[in-house]
Chains A and B, each alone.
Chain A
Amino acid sequence: MKFYFMHLMPYADLDLSYDEKHNSAWVTLPNTYYDPKKGHQLYNRYLDELEYADQLGFDGICVNEHHSNAYGLMPIPGVMAGALARRTKNVKIAILGRALPLLNNPLTVAEEFAMVDNITGGRLIAGMVRGIGAEYHSWGVNPAFSHERFQEAHDLILQAWTQPGPSVFEGKHYNFEYVNVWPRVYQDNPHPPIWIPSQGSSETIEWAAHPDRKYTYLQTFASVSTVARYMKMYKDVAAGYGYEATEDQLGWSLPLYVAETDEIARREAKEHIEAFLQKFLRMPMEMLLPPGYTSVKSMVGAMSAKAGHSMKQTIDSVIEEGKFICGSPATVREKLEEYQAQIGFGHLLTLLQFGTLPAELTRKNMEIYSKEVMPYLRSVTASRAA
């Protein structure tokens, strides 16, 4: 199993009472809530944390893309990846963006990824996503065409990476007379690894698992039972295609906090994970799921589920569901070992900074995790595989 340090770079200095006046930390929260002086400090602190992960022996670091919000300050994740490319030496750099349908010219992603891949000598992991619903409001892109623009942009980028240029691209949303991206990707056999982060969708799984692709499916923030269900679905789909999915094709991304004891961990994490859940993730349905973002069938499901119970997420509820792992090194080791054995994912992306978690607790979390959790899991999963 491989270990990654994932960052969202939230605006941790957000005035959390914003929700007395505004219904979301996305799209319409005035950017006057953002103070560039504090932002300067935060960006540099967060980049330091990502660089520290390289020194602590993580296999990879992950940056993220979201727009017009306080939840994550990386609208252009390539800027972060570029900064990290030179300051890190060993880690893979996963850009988990890019939200392809938002772009009028997806070749910018083919270029940006190729540049990072060249600078790092092949340490890039190329993420491709649709972005979350809110982004279609912020960027004015039609969600009704989200799926087809994603497919088409993906095909265009793959063509740019794998066919000698110049070549012609004839699409519905994108058209080019000269697809001829300089630089070519460093990992050219056949292209950099592609990861598909998703909140869970059978359409996405069927597409990612296709033998032509075999992309790594990355389940983001979800309960253990959901993670298990979707990863089983991936394996079943692969089996249906006549091959066996490897651990390398399955990843899980979740927040985690480990401290000296269960009691300390819970006490230290509580207000920060709850700020993440209740303040940074806060978003009405109309923002989260614009028309066409998910199929009508899934929307009916989501709306009846919401009508049934809309419970406020707390530290207890997310620990209970396994959306958040929190505890002593022994507790965390035990849970992860059990989940890994049961679900069989090969990439574990931990969000060791979340919400308002301050610098010193983030570093402590990273240190305990990398010293007391990672090595143990490395050896048990290696011996299991052997």
Chain B
Amino acid sequence: MSFTESLETVTGTKIRIMRKGTGGPLLFLHGASGASRWLPFMDKLSETHEVIVPEHPGFGGSDSPEWLDNISDLAFFYLDLLDHLGLEKVNLVGTSIGGWLAAEIAICNATKLGSLTVVAPAGIRVKGIRKGDVFMWNPQETARNLFHDQAFAEAMLAAPPPSKEGMEILLRNKLTSAKLAWEPRFLNPDLHKWLHRISVPTLIVWGDDDKAMPVGYAPAWRELIPNSRLEIIENCGHLPQIEKADRFVELVSGFIGEVTR
């Protein structure tokens, strides 16, 4: 069975949502490169969960609303979306900017959440550990820096150039990422003060060779969120869900199974 795709209007903003599977709800929040395609890790997770993958406002097939200025706007929008979908005990999983967003949602209101998984999240600062300047990387550098295993980079670079529409989506995703994260760079200076409010069990996942969001950030997240566990994946870059999809799925479903028993 294939995934379904729909456009839904949430507080006046149209967003594109992909869905598949039955079981406890798993809301996946994508990173800077959006979520235009249904990926193998989503499919694996859908064997045990109802996997819901929206594209954030300002990304891919969703609207670019006037009101979107910063990460807080997006977090409050997602609280509206949780109401709209009528979901309870949601397992929130976010990667990179999406991990940052998931944490922002969880500090505001975790009443509809069952668990939280953040994968190489942006959002805080550890002085002296510089994040990769993704806005300065050219397409070659981006591909090489995103992955530990360069075979993934080669495959990405060998892909045919995007169509005009594909190019527009890439540029729009980049624009919204800049809006959220250019300055201060991938940072909400206030976020670290409130991460202790996250009351749901939390899993932190990180690749040990992440050049965008260095793994040196992982212990800080572990310390700031009381009820959290850290898993570092070896020989892995910024996108464990792609580069180590099996291990990623095993960790996430194992964790969710354990904490929602």
Contacts and interface: CB of A to CB of B under 8 A. Distances in A.
A129 B159 CA distance: 39
B151 interface: no
B136 A287 contact: yes
Given A142-B182, A284-B138, A286-B137, A291 B177 contact: yes
Contacts, number: 55
B171 A286 contact: no
Nearest to A144: B179
Q: Report, as a range, how many residues of chain A touch the other chain.
A: 20 to 34
Interface in B126-174: 135-138, 161, 164, 167-168, 171-172, 174
Interface in A49-97: none
Interface in B162-199: 164, 167-168, 171-172, 174-179, 182-185
B167 A137 contact: no
B136 A137 contact: yes
Given A286-B136, A287-B136, A143 B178 contact: yes
Given A285-B138, A287-B136, A300 B171 contact: yes
Interface residues of B, number: 20
Given A145-B179, A285-B138, A292-B179, A307 B161 contact: yes
Contacts of B161: 307
B171 A144 contact: no
B164 to A, nearest CB: 6
Contacts of B177: 291
A296 B168 contact: yes
Interface in A215-266: none
A119 to B, nearest CB: 35
B171 A143 contact: no
A16 interface: no
Main secondary structure, interface of B, reads helix
A137 B135 contact: yes
A361 interface: no
A346 interface: no
Contacts of A291: 135, 171, 174-175, 177-178, 182
A336 interface: no
Contacts of A299: 171
B178 A142 contact: yes
A383 to B, nearest CB: 50
A144 B178 contact: yes
A140 B136 CA distance: 12
Residue from B138, B172, B179, B182 with most neighbouring chain A CB atoms (10 Å): B182
Given A143-B178, A307-B161, 14 more contacts: A137-B136, A140-B183, A140-B185, A141-B182, A144-B178, A145-B179, A286-B136, A291-B178, A291-B182, A292-B179, A296-B175, A297-B168, A300-B164, A300-B168
Interface of A: 136-137, 140-145, 284-287, 290-292, 296-297, 299-300, 303-304, 307
5 contacts: A137-B135, A145-B179, A284-B138, A290-B135, A300-B168
Q: Which 5 A-B pairs have the closest CB atoms?
A: A144-B179, A291-B178, A142-B182, A291-B175, A291-B174
